[in-house]
Structure 1
Amino acid sequence: MTGQDDQEREFDLRWADEAAHKEPSARARMLAARWKENPPGPVPFRAGPEPVCGRRSSWVSTAVVLGCVAAVILLLGYIDFRAPY
């Protein structure tokens, strides 16, 4: 692209942004038509906390991760100890 094309494109974008009337997107028109016949129910701003079922507590996960890190460190130390120099 040349500099002239960039200037023309910038002008077109500014012209479009300053338009007095902007047409809604196809999705907005579809939802408006659907909600005119069947309006959506009220939705809370934030949903209530969901019950935690089947999840381990955070300390168990932390212990598993730290155990794996310790095992890798020990394994690398054992390999380094056994390696001939």
Structure 2
Amino acid sequence: MSEALRFEILGPQRAWYADRPLGLGAGKQRAVLAVLLLSAGRPVPIGQIIEAVWPGEPPANGPNVVQKYAAGLRRVLEPERSRVRRGGC
């Protein structure tokens, strides 16, 4: 069994960790992930993410919503990190 994190973004967006499928959340959260994956290894300005996810009419609280989606993705993609923080370490 592979311990690698794997993604598919063409067709249905899917992810696996150690051959276990991961739930990536709602559509906009998946869109944030797609923007980040397309720029893997490079910083992505929050404005670029907002424009890609909400072209034309972004919500007034766009930066906060992107941060919320990023936190949700971290919980799914880095579960060990979340457990350590909750445990107080």
TM-score range, shorter chain: under 0.3
Higher-strand-fraction structure = 2
Question: Could you tell me the TM-score, scaled by structure 2's length?
Answer: 0.22
> Whose Rg is larger?
1
Question: Could you tell me the TM-score, scaled by structure 1's length?
Answer: 0.23
Structure showing greater relative contact order (alpha-carbon pairs closer than 8 Å, 6 or more residues apart) = 2
Higher-helix-fraction structure = 1
